């Protein structure tokens, strides 16, 4: 009860801040007109303002977003004065930043936590670049990023990794330490980048403060995570495509419904506005994802030439409530509710349009919750996760039927959320295991959530026996690395022995192949 009261009090004080922010956002497009009178010229720093490093993301064939945030005191509000601060940026062909090909100036505003998002354009396609920020007498580290191939080109190869779920408290980011050596074109992050919970004792690391609610809370939490050297280095290494899952706001929330169902929806939307704003501030996202109050569009398509088209999805902001009160339950009538939605009407229509128009040889759905309908209980009764697509049977069938009927080329579903590795053949009707496989689902485990992990949990054997479309399941920590060519998709499941202490080695636990035109994964011997 105390926690609830504290939460309400924090949120009510946030309501005032929220309206102030709404007003502030409305001036952002006009900021260049007022610059001369408000910009703090050539600031001087007594400590490094670039403590959170640099990042890049959402590449196009002629550019990308480069990101940083000024925060000399990152986990305690940032430590910046409430001023508009000029920031210079440059793009070069070399890591010494000698051969500069483009440069410019922008501003870091207090309204957006002194974050900096520059959408660079006019560069060469399919090309690696380096970038750096400068502010007064301070310089950021140099980041490395790339443009994607032109839309008319079929690239030979794409090498990327996807990852999710990086609870600060439950382990170290050794996965990123190894990923750094993988020579990747791209990282795809499927959410649970932060967790909202308050700090607990006797964990490998400890969250600062209580459960987060206010904008400052969320900013501090992201900053704490981003102080990790391996995470920061991986952001500086190559571009990322990011989407959120639930813990960027609140465990298992749905649209305006908190995990605690009785919680006031307006207050929850205020919390969501804080969370979405902090996400935008900390991620290399384009201006199209700038939040408007409690809403932010992060679904988008990003093509890698004609080789792969990444359709990044949001299964949290628009979905209907989980049926049967969430949890693992049998498939009751509620699961077959024709009104239920996972993506919301607009996003689902957008996705269908994108899939029809796509020229990608591989069509990737980068999303959060498992699409395969997995029975988790041995024998009777059955139990399916109501938070996953299994709980949303009508929209799940509609999407998979669409992929089949429209013959969308090579659909690949990338999933996070559940802190375990899976490879699944996706069917319209899982009641008929021999029915046609429509798409292949690769589920990556967590970077750190869940602690050390284990190769096989005690229900491993019955999951494989009762769900014949599941080709692989493993519960260690790590990430999945993919090598994609026009003819073949290869997924390497990279697993760590432990994450609760530093220094674990990594190994490829299993590799799976999908041949173009033949949905379904084959274990590579
Ligand atoms: Fe998670």
Ligand 1 center to 500 CA (angstroms): 16
* Residue whose pair of structure tokens reads 């024709």 in the numeric block: 338
Ligand 1 center to 298 CA (angstroms): 19
Q: Is the pLDDT of residue 38 over 60?
A: no
Ligand 1 center to 233 CA (angstroms): 22
The helix/strand/coil state of 122 is coil
Cβ atoms of 506 and 174 closer than 8 Å: yes
Q: In the predicted model, what is the mean pLDDT of residues 145-173?
A: 98
User: How confident is the model at residue 262, as a pLDDT?
Assistant: 86
Ligand 1 center to 421 CA (angstroms): 13
Ligand 1 center to 448 CA (angstroms): 9
Say how many C-beta atoms besides its own lie within 10 A of residue 328's C-beta.
Answer: 18
Element of type H or E holding 161: strand 158-163
Per-residue pLDDT reduced to its tens digit, 251-292: 999 999 998 888 899 999 999 999 999 999 999 999 999 999
Ligand 1 center to 246 CA (angstroms): 8
DSSP 334: G
Ligand 1 center to 450 CA (angstroms): 8
Spell 144-165 as b/e; 16+ CB within 10 A means b.
ebbbbbbeeeebeebebbbbbb
Ligand 1 center to 73 CA (angstroms): 27
Per-residue pLDDT reduced to its tens digit, 211-247: 999 999 999 999 999 999 999 999 999 999 999 999 9
Ligand 1 center to 168 CA (angstroms): 11
Binned at pLDDT 50, 70 and 90, residue 20 comes out as very low
| C-alpha torsion angle, residues 393, 395, 399, 402 (rounded to 10) | 100
Say how many C-beta atoms besides its own lie within 10 A of residue 282's C-beta.
Answer: 26
Ligand 1 center to 420 CA (angstroms): 10
User: How confident is the model at residue 6, as a pLDDT?
Assistant: 40
Q: In the predicted model, what is the mean pLDDT of residues 325-340?
A: 97
User: How confident is the model at residue 40, as a pLDDT?
Assistant: 64
Ligand 1 center to 402 CA (angstroms): 29
Q: Is the pLDDT of residue 454 over 50?
A: yes
Global pTM exceeds 0.85: yes
Per-residue pLDDT reduced to its tens digit, 467-498: 999 999 999 999 999 999 999 999 999 999 99
Ligand 1 center to 271 CA (angstroms): 19
Per the structure block, which two tokens stand in for 7?
A: 């939460």
| Region for residue 393 given its phi and psi (left: phi exceeds 0; alpha: psi -120 to 50; beta: otherwise) | alpha
Neighbour-count burial of 287, counting CB atoms closer than 10 A to its CB (0-12 exposed, 13-18 middle, 19+ buried): exposed
Binned at pLDDT 50, 70 and 90, residue 44 comes out as confident
Per the structure block, which two tokens stand in for 102?
A: 């483009």
Ligand 1 center to 419 CA (angstroms): 6
Residues above pLDDT 90, as percent of the chain: 89
User: How confident is the model at residue 1, as a pLDDT?
Assistant: 32
User: How confident is the model at residue 389, as a pLDDT?
Assistant: 98
How far apart are alpha carbons 44 and 197 in whole angstroms? 36
DSSP 474: E
Ligand 1 center to 288 CA (angstroms): 26
Non-local CB neighbours of 33 within 8 Å, separated by 6+ positions: none
Ligand 1 center to 167 CA (angstroms): 7
Q: In the predicted model, what is the mean pLDDT of residues 126-147?
A: 98
Ligand 1 center to 193 CA (angstroms): 8
Q: Is the pLDDT of residue 71 over 60?
A: yes
Ligand 1 center to 418 CA (angstroms): 6
Kindly tell me the sign of the dihedral angle through the C-alpha atoms of 111, 113, 114, 117.
negative
Ligand 1 center to 316 CA (angstroms): 13
Kindly tell me the sign of the dihedral angle through the C-alpha atoms of 314, 246, 233, 482.
negative
User: How confident is the model at residue 41, as a pLDDT?
Assistant: 67
Mean per-residue pLDDT of the chain: 93
Ligand 1 center to 276 CA (angstroms): 17
Neighbour-count burial of 494, counting CB atoms closer than 10 A to its CB (0-12 exposed, 13-18 middle, 19+ buried): buried
Ligand 1 center to 259 CA (angstroms): 15
What 3 state SS string does 360-415 have? Answer: CCEEEEECCCCCCCCCCCCCCCCCEECCCHHHCHHHHHHHHHHHHHCCCCCEEEEE
Cβ atoms of 252 and 259 closer than 8 Å: yes
Ligand 1 center to 192 CA (angstroms): 5
Ligand 1 center to 118 CA (angstroms): 30
Cβ atoms of 475 and 419 closer than 8 Å: yes
How far apart are alpha carbons 311 and 154 in whole angstroms? 18
Ligand 1 center to 238 CA (angstroms): 23
Ligand 1 center to 195 CA (angstroms): 8
Report which of 309, 290, 456, 444 is spatially closest to residue 370, judged by C-alpha positions.
444
User: How confident is the model at residue 25, as a pLDDT?
Assistant: 37
C-alpha of 301 from chain center: 14
User: How confident is the model at residue 317, as a pLDDT?
Assistant: 98
How far apart are alpha carbons 464 and 470 in whole angstroms? 6
Ligand 1 center to 277 CA (angstroms): 20
Would strands 506-515 and 488-496 be described as parallel, antiparallel, or unpaired? antiparallel
User: How confident is the model at residue 215, as a pLDDT?
Assistant: 98
Ligand 1 center to 199 CA (angstroms): 16
Cβ atoms of 100 and 130 closer than 8 Å: no
Cβ atoms of 456 and 408 closer than 8 Å: no
Ligand 1 center to 308 CA (angstroms): 26
Per-residue pLDDT reduced to its tens digit, 346-364: 999 999 999 999 999 999 9
């Amino acid at each position: 009860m105390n926690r609830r009261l504290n939460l309400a009090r924090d949120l009510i004080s946030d309501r005032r801040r929220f309206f102030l922010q709404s007003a502030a956002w409305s001036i952002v497009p006009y900021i260049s007109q007022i610059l001369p009178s408000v910009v703090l010229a050539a600031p001087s720093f007594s400590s490094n303002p670039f403590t959170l490093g640099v990042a890049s993301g959402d590449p196009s064939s002629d550019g990308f977003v480069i990101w940083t945030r000024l925060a000399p005191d990152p986990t305690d509000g940032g430590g910046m004065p409430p001023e508009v601060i000029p920031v210079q940026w440059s793009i070069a062909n070399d890591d010494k930043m000698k051969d500069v090909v483009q440069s410019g100036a922008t501003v870091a505003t207090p309204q957006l936590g002194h974050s900096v998002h520059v959408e660079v354009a006019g560069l060469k396609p399919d090309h690696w670049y380096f970038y750096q920020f400068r502010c007064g007498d301070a310089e950021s580290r140099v980041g490395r990023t790339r443009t994607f191939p032109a839309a008319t080109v079929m690239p030979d190869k794409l090498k990327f990794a996807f990852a999710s779920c990086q609870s600060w408290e439950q382990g170290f980011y050794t996965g990123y330490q190894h990923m750094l050596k993988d020579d990747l074109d791209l990282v795809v992050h499927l959410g649970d980048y932060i967790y909202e919970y308050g700090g607990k004792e006797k964990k490998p690391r400890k969250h600062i403060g209580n459960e987060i609610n206010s904008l400052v809370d969320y900013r501090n939490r992201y900053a704490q995570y981003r102080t990790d050297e391996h995470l920061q280095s991986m952001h500086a290494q190559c571009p990322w495509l990011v989407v959120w899952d639930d813990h960027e706001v609140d465990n298992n929330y749905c649209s305006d419904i908190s995990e605690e169902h009785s919680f006031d929806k307006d207050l929850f939307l205020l919390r969501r506005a804080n969370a979405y704003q902090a996400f935008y501030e900390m991620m290399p996202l384009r201006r199209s994802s700038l939040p408007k109050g409690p809403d932010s569009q992060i679904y988008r398509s990003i093509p890698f030439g004609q080789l792969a088209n990444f359709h990044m999805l949001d299964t949290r902001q628009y979905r209907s409530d989980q049926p049967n009160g969430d949890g693992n339950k049998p498939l009751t009538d509620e699961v077959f509710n024709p009104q239920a939605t996972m993506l919301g009407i607009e996003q689902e229509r957008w996705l269908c349009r994108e899939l029809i128009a796509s020229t990608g040889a591989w069509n990737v759905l980068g999303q959060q919750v498992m699409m395969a309908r997995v029975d988790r209980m041995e024998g009777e009764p059955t139990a399916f996760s109501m938070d996953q697509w299994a709980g949303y049977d009508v929209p799940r069938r509609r999407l998979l039927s669409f992929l089949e009927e429209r013959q969308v080329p090579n659909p690949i579903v990338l999933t996070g959320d559940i802190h375990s590795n899976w490879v699944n053949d996706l069917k319209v009707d899982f009641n008929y295991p021999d029915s046609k496989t429509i798409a292949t689902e690769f589920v990556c485990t967590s970077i750190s959530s869940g602690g050390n992990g284990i190769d096989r949990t005690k229900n491993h054997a019955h999951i494989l026996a009762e769900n014949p479309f599941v080709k692989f399941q493993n519960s260690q920590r790590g990430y999945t690395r993919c090598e994609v060519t026009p003819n073949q998709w290869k997924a390497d499941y990279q697993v760590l022995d432990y994450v609760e202490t530093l220094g674990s080695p990594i190994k490829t636990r299993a590799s799976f192949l999908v041949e173009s035109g033949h949905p379904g994964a084959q274990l590579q011997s």
